[in-house]
A and B are shown apart, each in its own frame.
Chain A
Amino acid sequence: MSNKALEIKNLSFKYRHNSKETLKKINLSVEKGKWLSILSRNGSGKTTLIKLAAGLLENSSKGSIKIFDQEVNQENFASIKEHIGMVFQNPDNQFVGPTVQDDVAFGLENKSIERNEMIERVDSALKDVEMIEFANREPNSLSGGQKQRVALASVLALQPDIIILDEATSMLDPKGRKSLLKLVQKLRSQYKITVIAITHDIQEIEQSDQVIIIDGGKKKLEGKPAKILIEDEKLESFGLEVPFTKRVRKRLFELGIILPNDYESKEMVANKIWKYYSKM
């Protein structure tokens, strides 16, 4: 298999019922096994972009989208689908089974996976997201965060080459969110899965390999998180959050305490403040 999980060239897109172009000449390349984070304001085209990549919207532009070197189009849809597992922004749009376990099994049935293995995969995915006790529940009767956990389990059970997360943890409590992202990270390194994650949480991009920022339908910034996270002014100009520790750094600067312009964890910042404080 090629080393390029996703390659987008010169992609533009316009919705039929929308007078404006939603995406403008996007170029993007993601290597197999990497984690890409996508950041932008509301309505900038994140969901549109990943739906195009997964073949769920038709690319009518001259640009091209390739998944593992294969053009994403209607003819190739079946084989493109094999590679991708997607968690939608609203989990309600994703549920198909009458019970949680049927729902997780659904994608596997289509893949004609042997029954024993299927049961095993469903069980292990539900255990991973801590939803095994809800296996017989109707998905509709779950709480918001429980729905998001099940939606993720359905994708994990498929063991896809590419996992796409469209704000997949937006309704979880902070600890729950961290533990699910850790889980995805673990599976990614174990199976060399490629992860494409949309988020509004600036802290979340720490764990990615590559970040892109979209604004006004265009790709405006791209780089490693360490580089993006220190671009205070640019982040602000794209309507994004400046990381917490960077905000603290700014306050300290105003008090005459100068910390290097790196992205640092809270603990590292605490060490530096303490050093100053105890020396004074």
Chain B
Amino acid sequence: MEILFKNVDYIYQPNSPFQFKALTDVNLKIESGSFTAIIGKTGSGKSTLIRHLNGLLKPSSGEVKIGNLTITSSIKESQLSDLRRKVGMLFQFPEQQLFADTVEHDIEFGPINFGTTKEKAKKIARESLKKVGLNDEFLNRSPLELSGGQMRRVALAGVLAVKPDILVLDEPTAGLDFIGKKEIMKLIKKLQLEEHTTIILVSNSMEDVADYAEEVILLSKGKVIKQASPNKIFSNKEITSALGIETPQTTVLAEFLLERGVDFKGSLPINEKSFNNFLKKIFEEKKKTRIL
């Protein structure tokens, strides 16, 4: 399902002293099956934007199109039920989506709610839990008596269990340990590549964005500043420094080398893989010319 935003504004608490325009004239196109990262500073509107994707928020003006469904300010809740089945959303704070008495019931809830048999849901719960790096021992635990990282994993398992067409993740790796981060990012990438799930990732990890995303949407103060490939975004010094967006660690190192005179032939590496390839190439070339 393709996602389109047309002239979307979003205003919180309209006509009150706390009225706040969190999105201004947002226009975007996100292709079906793509992997898109949304980045921007604290309060730039990332969570607000993605909450439009399952109709949790409706545009104050403008429209959001997801597949055949057009969401405007006047859409009725009843028209959104099909959408909610197709869009899985992991919230920024996992506690906001954990509610059942046990981890097992929590993960089963989605599938059962969407018509899966109890038995099959049980099986799905186990599989999903395993995918997020937790073993069966957690099934009978209370989701609210877990560590922070364990809670986020359980919340993610609950979202994966319904096998959504569009997977929306609000900082899925915040609070995860190093191995957990890597495994979960790989799992998400795998869903995109093998299941053709559309992935929308809000992230503060520029390394993850550079490693996994195909497109980046850069927000600032509720406006889309740029939508482009990670390469284009992170090598655009004007934009990143003007907006205080940090570039991936690799790019920072590459910039130091560039200043000293290393020739990157116009394109700075943004992730470790491309940086390593580059290192290999320049040192092997140097060796060759030296031998000649």
Interface on A for B, CB 8 Å cutoff?
15, 17-18, 40-44, 46-47, 89-90, 92-93, 136-138, 141-146, 149, 166-167, 170-177, 200, 202, 239-241, 244-245, 247-248, 251-252, 255-257, 266-267, 269-271, 273-274, 276-278, 280
Contacts and interface: CB of A to CB of B under 8 A. Distances in A.
B278 to A, nearest CB: 10
Given A93-B95, A270-B256, 13 more contacts: A47-B147, A90-B148, A92-B96, A143-B43, A144-B42, A172-B42, A172-B204, A202-B178, A248-B253, A269-B253, A273-B257, A273-B279, A280-B283
B147 A43 contact: yes
A143 B141 CA distance: 30
B174 A141 contact: no
A167 B175 contact: yes
A164 to B, nearest CB: 14
B253 A270 contact: yes
B266 interface: no
Given A17-B142, A17-B145, A251-B276, A173 B204 contact: yes
28 contacts: A17-B142, A41-B180, A42-B175, A42-B177, A43-B147, A43-B150, A44-B147, A90-B148, A92-B95, A137-B18, A149-B42, A171-B42, A171-B174, A173-B40, A173-B42, A174-B206, A176-B42, A177-B204, A200-B178, A239-B178, A239-B179, A269-B253, A270-B253, A270-B257, A274-B261, A277-B282, A278-B260, A280-B290
A144 B93 contact: yes
A156 B141 CA distance: 35
Contacts of A255: 279-280, 283-284
A136 B19 CA distance: 12
B272 A89 contact: no
Nearest to B204: A173
Contact of B253 (A90, A200, A266): A266
A171 B18 contact: no
Nearest to B257: A270
B12 interface: yes
Contact of B174 (A18, A146, A170): A170
Contacts of B147: 42-44, 46-47
Contact of B42 (A138, A146, A202, A245): A146
In the complex, the 4 A-B pairs of residues with the closest C-beta atoms, listed nearest first: A42-B149, A145-B42, A270-B256, A174-B246
Interface in B169-201: 170-171, 174-181
A155 B47 CA distance: 26
Interface in B86-100: 92-93, 95-96
A253 B159 CA distance: 42
A171 B180 contact: no
Given A42-B177, A248-B253, A274 B262 contact: yes
Which of A47, A174, A255, A266 counts the most B-chain CB atoms under 10 A from its CB? Answer: A174
Given A42-B180, A248-B253, A280-B283, A144 B47 contact: yes
B253 A278 contact: no
B150 A267 contact: no
B272 A247 contact: yes
Contact of A42 (B43, B141, B153): B153
Contacts of B148: 42, 47, 89-90, 166-167
A213 to B, nearest CB: 12
A253 B252 CA distance: 21
A209 B174 CA distance: 25
A117 to B, nearest CB: 28
A277 B280 CA distance: 12
Contacts of A239: 177-179
Contact of A145 (B43, B96, B150, B261): B43
Nearest to B284: A255
A170 B286 CA distance: 42
